[in-house]
A and B are shown apart, each in its own frame.
Chain A
């Protein structure tokens, strides 16, 4: 199909984009790799597209002290090539190759993926596993929203209608940081049937601060609290047994299959977390 008609404006600054957002039924166009697909299918019919690709200064990647800040317009491919991300945000580096395909990674943005909040997408789960936060810019200025407060429901976030996601921030990895990432998809690059992003801190021979964020198992990325506690004690079997996910059936797999696969992924990711970094 073809998109329904809409008006189109190129924003030159974040302030301009945010001001235009108050116009009825306006949508921000970042990488467009989900939005334009929904326009083509007429699942989305906004009256105005605000193209933010020309706004300068929104695609930086920087490590400042103990935080890595990534501008919202950073493309997946750019993040995948970044030495800063490889060194200081290794979970994101592990996840990027699983995101769609090279042609899509050249356009898709980190901010767009997180603001869109697809429950089967990789980056929202990474942000949750890393205990990261988003920077939202609105008419009154900027505010920070923790990942645990950001993902509210299916494609629903804590962003207000007149706010734009302008950056994400995650804690910079230390020598003790351990990360793990795995997903199962029918075809490499497809949305996951089930996926798992994880971070932890090495504590002697074991792990502490284990954070497991599953995706593809609910309306938002989902923490697995009891499994985290079991894994911190080093008991992988107990961690798998402690999983309390309640995935819905979907077009890809039954709930029972997803639960089984979640356990398979936990064993793989536990192996990654317990490896020396």
Chain B
């Protein structure tokens, strides 16, 4: 099967590669670019471990093909970490034990940041609903909701 040339921006760097059409975006990032921060869980859109940003919006990395990202801007957990955009969220996850094994954490952070960058302080129910597409099998979610809520309040200028 013929391969296709794609050029995209990944975490601010321009990347040109030749890919098989059947390669998903998350496999491309992990296997071709060696960015292994985005995790592969269920491979059918249910677990959210591969959640990352394409053109500013969160998507499932397992439900987009790399060939579809020609010309796109992709941001992974590596980029979100390096830019400092989610430093407060990462610190809150650590402080509140909002992760144990850490497998869900990159996707969880990407989804949480997507909610928080809208501004305001979402209710706990809204946080739970927004993160409903991201499975965590360790924490029971309570600490994750605590961490996201605390960051929302801190960013809004409140205490906690």
Please give the residue numbers on chain A whose beta carbons come within 8 Å of chain B beta carbons, in ascending order: 1-8, 29, 32-33, 36-41, 49, 51, 53, 77, 100-104, 106-107, 187-189
- The answer to whether A189 and B132 touch across the interface, beta carbons within 8 angstroms, is yes
Residues in B neighbouring A189, C-beta threshold 8 A: 132-133
- The answer to whether B133 and A33 touch across the interface, beta carbons within 8 angstroms, is no
- The answer to whether B132 and A107 touch across the interface, beta carbons within 8 angstroms, is no
Please encode chain B, from 35 to 70, with 1 for each CB lying within 8 Å of some chain A CB and 0 for all others.
000000001110010010000011110111101100
- The answer to whether A103 and B64 touch across the interface, beta carbons within 8 angstroms, is no
Residues in A neighbouring B133, C-beta threshold 8 A: 100-104, 189
Residues in A neighbouring B2, C-beta threshold 8 A: 7
Which of B17-25, B80-88, B148-156 faces chain A? B17-25
Please give the residue numbers on chain B whose beta carbons come within 8 Å of chain A beta carbons, in ascending order: 1-2, 4, 20-22, 24, 27, 43-45, 48, 51, 57-60, 62-65, 67-68, 111, 114-115, 128-130, 132-134
Nearest Cβ in chain B — how far from A105, in angstroms?
Answer: 9
- The answer to whether A107 and B43 touch across the interface, beta carbons within 8 angstroms, is no
Residues in A neighbouring B4, C-beta threshold 8 A: 8
Nearest Cβ in chain B — how far from A94, in angstroms?
Answer: 15
Cross-interface CB contact of B20 among A5, A29, A38, cutoff 8 Å: A5
- The answer to whether B67 and A8 touch across the interface, beta carbons within 8 angstroms, is yes
Residues in A neighbouring B67, C-beta threshold 8 A: 8, 51
- Quick one: given A101-B48, A103-B48, are A1 and B57 in contact (CB under 8 Å)? no
- The answer to whether B1 and A6 touch across the interface, beta carbons within 8 angstroms, is yes
Residues in B neighbouring A1, C-beta threshold 8 A: 43
Nearest Cβ in chain B — how far from A89, in angstroms?
Answer: 22
- The answer to whether A37 and B45 touch across the interface, beta carbons within 8 angstroms, is yes
A and B contact pairs by CB, cutoff 8 A, 8 listed: A6-B22, A7-B2, A36-B65, A77-B57, A102-B111, A102-B115, A188-B128, A188-B132
> Contacts A8-B67, A103-B58 given; 11 further ones with Cβ under 8 A?
A3-B22, A7-B1, A8-B65, A29-B68, A36-B63, A37-B45, A39-B22, A51-B67, A100-B133, A102-B111, A107-B59
Cross-interface CB contact of A40 among B20, B62, B114, B132, cutoff 8 Å: B62
Max chain A C-beta neighbours (<10 A), residue from B4, B20, B22, B58? B22
Nearest Cβ in chain A — how far from B129, in angstroms?
Answer: 5
Residues in A neighbouring B134, C-beta threshold 8 A: 101
- Quick one: given A3-B22, A6-B22, are A102 and B114 in contact (CB under 8 Å)? yes
Residues in A neighbouring B130, C-beta threshold 8 A: 102
- Quick one: given A4-B22, A77-B57, are A101 and B132 in contact (CB under 8 Å)? yes
Roughly how many angstroms separate A100 CA and B63 CA in the complex, as a whole number? 13
Nearest Cβ in chain B — how far from A4, in angstroms?
Answer: 7
Residues in B neighbouring A103, C-beta threshold 8 A: 48, 51, 58-60, 111, 114, 133
Cross-interface CB contact of A51 among B45, B60, B68, cutoff 8 Å: B68
Nearest Cβ in chain B — how far from A69, in angstroms?
Answer: 24
